[in-house]
Structure 1
Amino acid sequence: MTLRKTLKQIREQLSVIKPDDRITAIKFMAVEKNQETGELFYSGHMLYNIKTRESVTEIYSDNDERRAYEHKEQN
């Protein structure tokens, strides 16, 4: 099967899925700024379920490796 046919089949399968069936939740990331360095880092996240409108929030502890991922602030 050629790549073109494969892509066409995938496109056809996706076209029958309703948009509200595709996206079920949104993940919001909480970001804090290090007061000494000015760098931004993830401090937690909130998962919002679109269908049920319920949300779950998780704040990362100081020793959580997900908290250690830092970004430099972009101007």
Structure 2
Amino acid sequence: MTPEFVLGLFLILVGTIAVAFPREKTYLARLINLEIPGWGVLLVMLSYNEALALLTFGGVTTLTVYLFARVLQKKEGAL
């Protein structure tokens, strides 16, 4: 097991807990905490193939930020 793989698994675990149980229960805090397991997934994929990891990380990060930004806009408009 490479150090990238172990660190990636640790970040996935910690990030998932941070998203599920945030200190501040705001959508922005959850969006920021969602990046932690994203970096963990990147490190796990880097232990296998660099090109695959970077392309997947770029695509997934773009989609998740867009979706959460839309959710934030709709929630702020409803208040």
- Shared fold by TM > 0.5? no
Higher relative contact order (CA 8 A, sep 6+): 2
Structure that is richer in helix per residue: 2
Structure 1 or 2: more strand by fraction: 1
TM class by shorter-chain length?
Answer: under 0.3
